[in-house]
Structure formats: C-alpha cells, structure tokens
Amino acid sequence: MATKIIYFTVNGRPERAELPLDCPAQDLKDLFRSAAEARPHDILKLYNPKGNLINISPRLEPNNPSSCYKLEVVAADCTSELLGVELAVALGFNFSTMEKRLQGLEKKILAQAVETPAVVYEMKKQVDLFREKLEVNVKASRVWSTSAGWGCSRSCLMDHTNPPLSTTRDLYAKPVMRSNTSLEVSEEVRQYLKTPSFDNWQWEDAEIMVLLQVMYTDLDFIATFNIEPEVLQHFLFEVYRRYNNIPFHNFKHCFCVTQMMYGLIWMTDLKSKIDSIDLLTMLTSAVCHDLDHTGYNNAYQINARTELALRYNDISPLENHHSAVAFEILEKRESNIFRNLTIEQYKRIREGIIQCILATDMTKHNEILSKFKTILPVFDFKNKDHKDVVITLMMILIKVSDISNEARPMEVAEPWLDCLLQEFYNQGDMEKLEGLPVTPFMDRDKVTKPSSQTGFIRFVLMPLFIELANLFPCLEQHIVYPVRKALDYYTEMEKALERDKQNRAQEKASKSKESPPGSQAASDAQTASVQECSKTAAQ
C-alpha cells in the first residue's frame, strides 16, 4: 500500500506519522488528536513552517524533519465566573419564565387530555439540557488561541453594545471580530476554498470570518468597489451576530452557502463572463440569505400566524425578513460595505440581493427552474442587454449554493443532514404541541434519513444541478456526479432499512407462532368475557 510520511511537532515534541495516501479525513484527525493527547472538545490547529494555518485533510502534503508542521491544541478551558443561570440572565434568558410557560401548557393539555403528551416532557428535557449546555459552553467553547492574540475576560463577556439576542452569539462575537485580523491563510487553503470538497467542520467561527474576507479580497471586490477592510470586518461581525444558534440555518450554513457560491464563480470562470457588481451581489446575497432564521420554516410561520407571516402577508415571510435584516445592517455607515458606490450601483445591488434572497424560497423553485430552462438555449454572456437573463442565472446559482450539501464529500454532507433533520423534528414537535398541521418531512415518527433525501435528490437537486451543468459542462464532475453518488448512497440505505423492517416483522410473526398452545384460545375467551361485561353494563 502506498503511504506518505508526515513530520510534525506537538508541545515541542517531534512526531512522525506514516499513513496511506487515501487515508480518510476522520482517521487523520483522530491520529493527530491521539498524538496531541487532546480531549474530545479540544480544537486542533496545524501550521506550516511559515506559521500559516493549514488544513488537516487527506490532501496534507508529505514533508521531512527539516520542514515539520506544528500541531497545537486550543484547550477548551475557561475560569469565567459567569456560569449557568447567571450567564443565562446576562444573555437575556429567563429560565423561570420558560419553565412557567411549560407548566401552563401542561395544565392546559391536562384539562383536555388524559395524560401529558411525550413532546411536553421532551421540551422540559430540552430546557434542562440547554441550562446544562450554557454552563458547559462557558468552559468548553473557549476556542480562541492566545498565540493569535485571542482571549476574553469577564468584562468583555458583559460588554453588550446592543440588546442581548435570544442566543449565545453576542457572548463571542466581539472576541471573534477582534481576533480575526491576526490570522493568515496559506495558499493551499485559498485554493481549497474554491472547491466543493471544502470541509467546514474543521474551522472555527473566527477562522470562518477570515475566510469570508479572503473571498471578498480574492475576487477583487476590495479594490474595485473601494471597500475599507475595517468596514468589511464590521459588516461580517454584524452578520455573524444575526445568525441564531439553531441546528441548521446558522452561521456555518451561511458560510457553506457562500463558499459554494465562491467556488462556482471560480469553477465556471464567471469573472470573465459577467460584471463584477453582479458577482458582488451574488456573494453578499449568499452571506445574508438566512439572517435571523428562527428554525421554523414558512409553512409554520403561516399556519401559526406569526408576526413575520402577518407582516409580509404570508408571502415568503422568512426570505423577506432575511433581506430586511441585511439592509438594516447595510444602513449603518460603519457596516455598509457599499457606502462608496454610486447611487445607481447601490440601487442595482439592492435590487439584485432582494431578488436572490427571495429566490431561496423553495415554493418558487419550479417557477425559477422553468424560466432558466426557457432562456438556456439562447443564453449569451456577450449580450450585456440581457439583464433578465443574468438575474435568472444569479437566482439559479444561489439556489444551487443553498441546497448544495449533497455535492460535498459524504463526511461533510451527512452531518449537515443530521442537523437539518434535528431542526425539522423540532418544528414537527412544536406543530403537534400547538395543534398545527405537521409539515411534510418534519414528523420524527414518520421520517427517516434516507426517506428524507431520496425524493429530494431525485426530483429537486438533480434537475436543478443538471440544468446548470448544461450551461457549464465543467460542473458535471464537480457537483452532478457527487449528487448522483449521494442518491445511490441513500437509496441503498433506504433498501437496507426496509429489509431490516421486514426481518423484524418476520421474527415477530415467528415468535407469535411459537407461543404456547391454547394461548390464542385463552385470549379469545378473555375478549368474549370483556364484551359480555360491556353488554351487561350497557343494559
């Protein structure tokens, strides 16, 4: 078997690792974690001889003792006094109020039902778990490296220049913004960032902020549109703050969508085909496309008659809200990355961002895809008058980016599916509790991982990705082929689950046949006795 040798130091101690050329990413991470004697929640960082942060991935280049990599462990310890309920109060949480609301719901349900539904107990459990997580987060979420000038004292934990959000985001936002300028990105990472195989799970929020700045820089937006670096940083900081800590539609999802958009721009050489201002519109739309997502989709908003549904008359409530929040951020001069544009340029970008974000509403999927199919035969990048054609392409690109997880390697994509299902199940539980229709694919009692994916990939992803690849054939290998593999994977998983279900049914039937003689007769006699007693009572 072909192998490669990696030399590295950890805590000043030289280490040598020999591993297969096709070593899986997780095995490589486990190897480094073991060598560093790291704990499960510790963060590993690898640096090249120049001191640049590099990616821990199977692409890691072999080296020699004179060009050792440096492995560091970012310990997850913190001696902050803000623990548990004190931290919750500092962040605007009130567990007492939450628990009282749960008790009120339970009393209301008991007045109408024989027993409390399991979902209420689950919600109680989640409140208790969340209390524990807050206590743990203060200790375990301190992932800023002092070597990069990161850190946080009690005073900065309490430094809220804005009202606290209903998340823990503000707790870490300022240190993240303060520290991100001290990080450097190697050329290897810059190139890796342009590929659909990029693994977001290896990167912390502070590093993600730097990678987003790299995208704006490498696409020449800083120079072309006179975007001051500190304004870009402040814009990204405000964006970071406005993504909630929910299972799927969070800041890391924002990054993944933006990174895929960035990759598509490079892979299709869009820089030479459309105006820079349209590229800036697309990248910024991706950054902002799920701002302040609540974790409950439009169907819930409309059925529950939420404030958002009422405000936007049931028309894409979430997408309208995401767009509105984006422009709230851009209205502030210190975070307005478009402040040096002309009025006409700003107007064009604002119109484009709104259209792109609204295009992520899946109820518009068929309409947008049909329009793209119609214009595809006459698509001409040289015709600058085809404004409608370009905006349709922009909408298709953000749609592809938004639902592109299955185009990534399975070790990156599958954890995202787990996150999505968790968010879906949470909504389904809430809909059951509130007596609302349970949205399709959100009932934890009916939906499995493969059943949620096979139809979605076959009827939504594949038609969309294939049409984009018809315009850009190079995308066949980058995004269409991986999605086909994902479909095969989940189809096989679904078949395996079905076989397992059938086997269990057969075992149950076999056990039933093996029951003691006369047991069925005894059961029939007992049923008849009960029926007779019922008749007597009725008379």
**Which CATH number goes with the domain that contains 10?**
3.10.20.90
Host domain of residue 104: 77-182
Is residue 506 a part of any domain in this protein? no
Residue 368 has pLDDT above 80, yes or no: yes
Is residue 144 a part of any domain in this protein? yes
Residue 179 has pLDDT above 70, yes or no: no
Please indicate, yes or no, whether residues 351 and 488 belong to a single structural domain of this protein: yes
Record the pTM: 0.71
Is residue 512 a part of any domain in this protein? no
Is residue 503 a part of any domain in this protein? no
Residue 81 has pLDDT above 80, yes or no: no
Q: Enter the tokens of residue 391.
A: 């905006």
CB of 217 within 8 A of CB of 232? no
Is residue 532 a part of any domain in this protein? no
In tens, the pLDDT along 308-343 reads 999 999 999 999 999 999 999 999 999 999 999 999
- 365 belongs to the catalytic site: no
Is residue 513 a part of any domain in this protein? no
d(CA 205, CA 468): 31
Helix (H, G, I), strand (E, B) or coil at 5: strand
Q: Which of 102-116, 168-182, 258-272, 483-497 has the lowest mean pLDDT?
A: 168-182
Please indicate, yes or no, whether residues 34 and 117 belong to a single structural domain of this protein: no
Q: What is the mean pLDDT of the chain?
A: 82
Please indicate, yes or no, whether residues 275 and 225 belong to a single structural domain of this protein: yes
Tell me, what CATH number does 352's domain have? 1.10.1300.10
Cα of 406 vs its chain's centroid, Å: 13
Q: Residue range 16-37: average pLDDT?
A: 85
Which of the listed residues 182, 215, 231 is the one where a domain comes to its end? 182
The single residue of 234, 249, 293, 322 carrying the catalytic annotation is 249
Please indicate, yes or no, whether residues 135 and 173 belong to a single structural domain of this protein: yes
The residue behind tokens 């807050």 is 134
Please indicate, yes or no, whether residues 118 and 231 belong to a single structural domain of this protein: no
Is residue 505 a part of any domain in this protein? no
Is residue 438 a part of any domain in this protein? yes
Please indicate, yes or no, whether residues 145 and 259 belong to a single structural domain of this protein: no
* Whole-number pLDDT of residue 142: 33
* Whole-number pLDDT of residue 535: 44
CB of 404 within 8 A of CB of 229? no
CB of 184 within 8 A of CB of 52? yes
Largest Cα separation within the chain, whole Å, is 97
Which of the listed residues 40, 74, 108 is the one where a domain comes to its end? 74
Please indicate, yes or no, whether residues 331 and 291 belong to a single structural domain of this protein: yes
Would you place residue 487 in the very low, low, confident or very high pLDDT band (cuts 50, 70, 90)? Answer: very high
Residue 235 has pLDDT above 90, yes or no: yes
Please indicate, yes or no, whether residues 333 and 380 belong to a single structural domain of this protein: yes
Please indicate, yes or no, whether residues 439 and 409 belong to a single structural domain of this protein: yes
Please indicate, yes or no, whether residues 154 and 232 belong to a single structural domain of this protein: no
Please indicate, yes or no, whether residues 381 and 250 belong to a single structural domain of this protein: yes
CB of 3 within 8 A of CB of 19? yes
d(CA 510, CA 279): 64
Count the domains in the chain.
Answer: 3
Please indicate, yes or no, whether residues 361 and 415 belong to a single structural domain of this protein: yes
Would you place residue 43 in the very low, low, confident or very high pLDDT band (cuts 50, 70, 90)? Answer: confident
Residue 497 has pLDDT above 70, yes or no: yes
Helices (H) and strands (E) in the chain, counts: 24, 5
Which of the listed residues 121, 148, 182 is the one where a domain comes to its end? 182
